[in-house]
Structure 1
Amino acid sequence: MQPLPDSLRPTAERLFGDRLELAERFVALLAEQGPERGLIGPREVDRLWERHLLNCALMVDGIRVAQPEATTLADVGSGAGLPGVVIAIARPDLQVTLIETMQRRTTWLEEVDADLGLGLEVVRARAEDLHGSRSFDVVTARAVAALDKLARWTLPLVADGGSLLAMKGSSAAEEIGKSHKVLSRLGGEDATISLYGVGEVEVPTTVVQVRRRTKATRKGDARG
């Protein structure tokens, strides 16, 4: 069990509310099984709370800003459940779908869902396999790929007027610049960078938001 540091408790309580115990149970599962199942590195166990749980939980601030009326969310490349499981704990009002290609990881995610009772949908597939058949108000991804490649996989899953929220690092601005043409071609617009958790955690969460144009806007673009 990795105890929640006192310095991080106010942030954890703000983000998880009365579901903080579920977050603590998820941390315990990651600490106990994550390294041996190849989900996290052994060195990550001692910094699960700040580097992983709260880093991901701060995404809920981004969701509130980007899509305050969102009801559906897909997390692409969920892996160990970061950020998808964490978001599901913090936002039980969202219908969360976890999309992952590797069997051993989808098995883990299904076990976590059963243990914590989160009501997740776990889908073993590539994001591309769902293009044209599924759409979500919000699509999230963490450390999956560079933004231009990530956009090809994820933007077709974003509902018109919805948002892609990608957790990124210091290269965020550079990635936006390099992916401008791809984003535009796929219906993406208004790419912005936001930092969440400033003053609460040592390293704030960097999120790139890309909104997907509505059909009306796309028709207007076609006429122009």
Structure 2
Amino acid sequence: MTAAERLAAEKIFGDRLGLAERYVEHLATSGTERGLIGPREIPRLWGRHVLNCAVIESEIPQGSHVADVGSGAGLPGLCLAIARPDLELTLIEPLERRVIWLQEVVDDLGLGNVTVMRTRAELAVGMVTADVVTARAVSALSNLAGLTIPLLGGEGEVVAIKGRSAGEEIEKAAKAIRKLGGVETSVVTVGQDLLEEPTTVVRIVVKKTQKSA
């Protein structure tokens, strides 16, 4: 971790920085051994992965129930659970080996605000109703909209970590997002004051249509 990354980590994780460090140890050891993270990523775990994900906590309202779709190595789900103990996290992951690893890490870190579910996002609809749905490196937005928006139960926000093509993805997905109840879609840059490379997020606001009395 560089000096700048440490400053950012202290700001984001506060007195839970020790938990974040233990999580990174898991990623660098068993996470790499079991194929959840590539060995080349080990030197970049803090900057490219953990801080890149954790910084989106600023976009999530206090006390929210967050569903993290395609949680994989816990990015961003576990980062958010560590940074924000006020949040309730449901990590949705279909692959058994990843689910086993996620549960081991949750147990080791004593994260009482996390539930790990082995299922596909589309099958979790009805079982999980979240205030916010997060995702990172899961799918193009035109497909991701259908995997995330239904988990909001008609109202809430999708916060998806995306790359430089976020604007193009929104254009391609606009029709699908509207059909699913998205009323406002925007690209938000998060962490400019903390990270060397800020995080790009696509934010979709979903609201129930108001029926007149």
CA, structure 1 residues 18+69, in 2 after alignment: closer, same or farther (shift >3 Å)? closer
Aligned residue runs from structure 1 range 121-160, under 5 A: 121-160=115-154
CA distance in 2, matches of 1:46, 1:134: 35
Residue 77 of structure 2 is matched in structure 1 by: 84
Residue 163 of structure 1 is matched in structure 2 by: 157
Q: Does 1:55 align with 2:48?
A: no
- Deviation for aligned residue 1:201: 1.6
Contact 2:62–2:86 under 8 Å retained in 1: no
Contact 2:155–2:207 under 8 Å retained in 1: yes
Contact 2:158–2:205 under 8 Å retained in 1: yes
Residue 16 of structure 1 aligns with an amino acid whose one-letter code is: F
Contact 1:62–1:207 under 8 Å retained in 2: no
CA distance in 1, matches of 2:196, 2:52: 10
Residue by residue over 1:171-196, the C-alpha shift from the partner in whole angstroms, topping out at 9 and shown as x without a partner, is: 10000001111000000121011111
- Deviation for aligned residue 1:215: 4.1
Residue 6 of structure 1 is matched in structure 2 by: 3
SS of the aligned residue for 1:108 comes to helix
Unaligned runs of at least 5 residues, structure 2 = none
Contact 1:77–1:101 under 8 Å retained in 2: yes
CA, structure 1 residues 44+164, in 2 after alignment: closer, same or farther (shift >3 Å)? same
Residue 101 of structure 1 aligns with an amino acid whose one-letter code is: P
Residue 207 of structure 1 is matched in structure 2 by: 201
Runs of 4+ displaced beyond 6 Å: none
Counting aligned pairs with the same residue, the percent is: 53
Residue by residue over 1:186-219, the C-alpha shift from the partner in whole angstroms, topping out at 9 and shown as x without a partner, is: 0012101111111422211000000111242xx4
Residue 108 of structure 1 is matched in structure 2 by: 101
Contact 2:134–2:159 under 8 Å retained in 1: yes
RMSD value over aligned CA atoms? 1.5
Contact 2:63–2:86 under 8 Å retained in 1: no
Residue 67 of structure 2 is matched in structure 1 by: 74
Unaligned runs of at least 5 residues, structure 1 = none
- Deviation for aligned residue 1:115: 0.3
TM-score, normalised to structure 1, is: 0.91
TM-score, normalised to structure 2, is: 0.95
- Deviation for aligned residue 1:69: 4.1
Residue 30 of structure 1 is matched in structure 2 by: 27
Contact 2:63–2:88 under 8 Å retained in 1: no
- Deviation for aligned residue 1:160: 3.5
Residue 95 of structure 2 aligns with an amino acid whose one-letter code is: M
2:110 to 117, 126, 131: 117
CA distance in 2, matches of 1:33, 1:174: 36
